[in-house]
């Protein structure tokens, strides 16, 4: 039986049942949002000197680290494209989201999660330690070991050409091609991924030809996209798998939900937890400098910034997303109380509050 406390809570809930936040907060005001993003870009550029382009794939080492571009595509409102939004770069690990989507659609949820887990690994993207010490399957499909396992599942079902066609469609970008030089470059230096793949074969997780699986995976990583194509993909994920323009469905809503959830918990490798706290937008990174972000029910966002932090995530891209998340209220867990701490750095605010309450 409900006690008076419960009654009060229920009454409170009824009183505040009006939506307190417009889900499309500020995104419909394109001019204002553009100004906010421009400012955020300037702040984000300051981070570039602290990062480095990836060099373990020699071809990626040739990228100009100073590039930065963003495309934010709201479900309602105009597309905002700034900086190097139309520059092509290789998708790298962002393609793990596409591999996962297709595997869930083609092979089914049970078969996918027989091969990979759904937990963050807390390890680097190309780690194999946790695979070797425990006898288990890869932690999740968004790290190299997990994506290689997913590729083993996909290989008998689809060709790379099928995957390329799907990627072009889901990214609304028919210009996506395989970047042959990046592919060749990675194939020459991928001994770590090769080790992971053979380890997975030894555990019975990869049952397809290991070299073919490795080539399929590396080709997927070498598709050249733009920040704009990633925003198009993000927008479909934000809209539960459906194109908001023509109503066409690209994946089931369950597949979209699983992809977004794993992006939030595992999309930024061993930086996923702090990114979720600071930015709060499901995001997948790639060492080509790409970031695919999904502001659920609001917008798809694509970012390109090839200078990376130690975890292999775009250093300026992360700063840019953090800024726009705060200023455009895109954090999944946004609440109006944040307006009070608007101009202050969150960590300082929390620390000051704790000190004031003598908790510290």
Percentages helix, strand, coil for the chain (3-state, rounded to 5) are 50, 10, 40
Question: Which residues within the stretch 71-100 sit at the binding site for ligand GLN (CB under 6 A)?
Answer: 92-93
Q: Residue 290 to residues 231, 235, 281: CA-CA distances in angstroms?
A: 11, 16, 15
Question: Active site includes 269?
Answer: yes
Residue 169 φ/ψ, nearest 5 degrees: -70, -45
Residue closer to ligand GLN (CB basis): 34 or 311: 311
Question: Active site includes 250?
Answer: no
CB of 54 to ligand GLN, least distance (A): 8
Question: Which residues within the stretch 237-276 sit at the binding site for ligand GLN (CB under 6 A)?
Answer: none
Question: Active site includes 96?
Answer: yes
Question: 280 with 333: CB under 8 angstroms?
Answer: yes
Q: Does 283 bind ligand GLN (CB under 6 A)?
A: no
Round to whole Å and give the CA distance between 149 and 131.
12
Question: 148 with 215: CB under 8 angstroms?
Answer: no
Round to whole Å and give the CA distance between 177 and 224.
6
- Residue 25, token pair as written in the block: 């907060």
Question: Active site includes 137?
Answer: no
User: Which of 225, 287, 294, 303 is an active site residue?
Assistant: 287
Among the listed residues 172, 193, 226, 229, the single contact to ligand GLN using CB under 6 A: 193
CB of 148 to ligand GLN, least distance (A): 8
User: Which of 53, 73, 85, 96 is an active site residue?
Assistant: 96
Among the listed residues 126, 173, 296, 323, the single contact to ligand GLN using CB under 6 A: 126
Q: Does 305 bind ligand GLN (CB under 6 A)?
A: no
Q: Does 286 bind ligand GLN (CB under 6 A)?
A: yes
Round to whole Å and give the CA distance between 126 and 143.
7
Round to whole Å and give the CA distance between 94 and 332.
21
User: Which of 121, 217, 285, 319 is an active site residue?
Assistant: 217
Q: Residue-wise over 345-356: b if at least 16 C-beta within 10 A, else e? A: eeeeeeeeeeee
Q: Does 146 bind ligand GLN (CB under 6 A)?
A: no
Measured from each CB, the residue nearest to ligand GLN is: 93
Q: Residue-wise over 248-277: b if at least 16 C-beta within 10 A, else e? A: eebbeeebbebbbebbbbbbbbbbbeebbe
CB of 271 to ligand GLN, least distance (A): 11
Q: Does 312 bind ligand GLN (CB under 6 A)?
A: yes
User: Which of 269, 278, 293, 325 is an active site residue?
Assistant: 269
Active-site annotation, residues: 93, 96, 217, 269, 287
* Binding site residues, ligand GLN, CB under 6 A: 92-93, 125-126, 144, 186, 193, 221, 286-287, 312
């Amino acid at each position: 039986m409900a006690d008076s406390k419960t009654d009060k809570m229920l009454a409170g809930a009824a009183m505040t049942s009006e939506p307190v936040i417009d889900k499309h907060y500020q995104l419909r005001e394109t001019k204002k949002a553009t100004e906010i993003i421009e400012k955020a870009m300037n702040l984000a550029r300051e981070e570039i000197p602290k990062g480095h382009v990836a060099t373990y794939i020699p071809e990626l080492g040739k990228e100009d680290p100073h590039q930065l571009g963003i495309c934010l595509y709201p479900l309602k409102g105009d597309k905002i494209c700034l900086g190097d939004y139309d520059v092509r770069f290789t998708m790298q690990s962002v393609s793990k989201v596409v591999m996962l989507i297709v595997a869930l659609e083609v092979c089914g949820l049970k078969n996918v999660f027989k091969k990979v887990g759904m937990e963050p690994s807390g390890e680097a993207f190309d780690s194999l330690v946790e695979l070797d010490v425990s006898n288990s399957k890869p932690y999740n499909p968004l790290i190299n070991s997990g994506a290689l396992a997913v590729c083993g599942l996909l290989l008998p079902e689809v060709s790379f050409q099928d995957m390329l066609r799907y990627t072009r469609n889901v990214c609304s970008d028919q210009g996506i091609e395989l970047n042959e030089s990046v592919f060749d470059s990675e194939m020459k230096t991928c001994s770590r991924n090769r080790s992971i793949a053979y380890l997975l074969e030894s555990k019975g997780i990869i049952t397809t030809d290991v070299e073919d699986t490795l080539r399929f995976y590396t080709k997927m990583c070498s598709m050249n996209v733009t920040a704009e194509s990633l925003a198009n993909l993000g927008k479909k994920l934000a809209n539960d798998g459906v194109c908001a323009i023509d109503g066409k469905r690209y994946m089931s809503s369950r597949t979209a939900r699983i992809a977004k959830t794993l992006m939030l918990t595992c999309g930024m490798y061993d930086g996923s937890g702090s990114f979720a706290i600071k930015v709060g937008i499901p995001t997948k990174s790639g060492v080509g400098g790409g970031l695919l972000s999904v502001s659920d029910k609001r917008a798809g966002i694509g970012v390109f910034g090839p200078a990376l932090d130690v975890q292999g995530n775009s250093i300026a891209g992360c700063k840019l997303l953090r800024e726009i998340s705060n200023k455009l209220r895109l954090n999944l867990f946004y609440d109006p109380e944040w307006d009070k701490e608007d101009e202050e750095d969150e960590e300082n605010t929390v620390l000051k509050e704790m000190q004031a309450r003598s908790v510290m």
